[in-house]
Amino acid sequence: MASYQVGDSLPELRVTPDAGLPRRYAEASGDMNPIHIDEEFAKSVGLPGCILHGLYSMAQVARAHTEAAGDPLALKRLAVQFRGMGFPEQEIRVTATVKAVEGDRVVTATEAAQGDNRIIRNGEAEFTA
Amino acid sequence: MAIKTDAVGKSWEPVSFEVEAARITQYADVVGEASPIHRDAEAARAAGYRDVVAPPMFAVVYSLPALGAALFDEEVGMDFARMVHGAQEFVWGEPVCADDVLSTTVTCKSIDERAGLGFYVFESVSTNQDGAETVRGTWTNIVRGVS
């Protein structure tokens, strides 16, 4: 069992969703909004192409925490804000810094970015360590 | 024109969701959750769960059907062409396993206007067949140009 101190960084998670990922996420989650799966529709509403589901990117933030904890069910709370749009075929980088430790509960400040585009900001996660 | 707030406090009928092991595995594959406990009942039982167990963010899968009714309600009146998912929070309780039957109730918590943006906040509460809470979600949708 890892012990955490305020200021510690969790291991960074890096993942590059492929071009087909938004469709697979749509089918797995049930969120079939065409801006994620229909290139023509996405372009017709002014987007450069299909965008990632924010909840997919949030799932990567979740995974960064459960992998750090070494327990797939360690996550007890996660709050995020969706800001920049995420795109397939670009690497997502999830970072998290411990901001509080209370007993076996660890609280982090966390975000996700693609290059300089911070797609998830002001995230706060709580997990058991 | 002031933003319509009639739906604040409204709750919608609970929506039931039967959890299939295959659905958990499909979701885990897509989001990259690699543990065998999302795939194999024996591995899940060895880890102390009743059956194949869902990763936390599977909450999206069983909450969304209930959210749909609220989001599309004309009394809420969101303009989907101008809507973005602004923020999300989940607080997890009891783990979700294959063959669970979950019930999700959605309530409109607030509708506010700030600087021409409409903030629509919904809460979803999901419970399993034993009445234990599995997740509580707070879904914030932002609609541009409401005034």
Residues near B50 by beta carbon (within 8 Å), at least 6 away in sequence: B44, B97
For the CA atoms of B111, B112, B118, B120, the dihedral, rounded to the nearest 10 degrees, stands at -30
Two tokens at B92?
């997890």
Residues near A116 by beta carbon (within 8 Å), at least 6 away in sequence: none
Taking contacts as CB-CB distances below 8 angstroms, the residues of chain B near A91 are none
Give the closest-approach CA distance of B143 to chain A in angstroms.
14
Q: How many CB atoms lie within 10 A of CB A100?
A: 13
Domains and CATH numbers, chain B: 15-19+55-144 (3.10.129.10)
Cβ <8 Å between B26 and A27? yes
Residue-level pLDDT at B147: 66
> What pLDDT, in 10s, does the model give residues A27-70?
999 999 899 999 999 999 888 999 999 999 999 999 999 999 99
Residue-level pLDDT at A2: 60
> How large a percentage of chain B has pLDDT more than 70?
99
Q: Which of B53, B56, B138 lies at the smallest CB-CB distance from A75?
A: B56
Residue at token pair 């929506």: B15
| A71 vs B35: CA distance, rounded Å | 9
Q: How many CB atoms lie within 10 A of CB A19?
A: 12
Per-residue pLDDT at B138 exceeds 90 = yes
ipTM: 0.95
Helix (H, G, I), strand (E, B) or coil at A19: coil
Cβ <8 Å between B30 and A24? yes
Domains and CATH numbers, chain A: 13-128 (3.10.129.10)
Residues near B52 by beta carbon (within 8 Å), at least 6 away in sequence: B21, B24, B25, B37, B38, B39, B40, B41, B44, B97, B98
Give the closest-approach CA distance of B57 to chain A in angstroms.
6
> What pLDDT, in 10s, does the model give residues A63-111?
999 999 999 999 999 999 999 899 999 999 999 999 999 999 999 999 9
Residue-level pLDDT at B36: 98
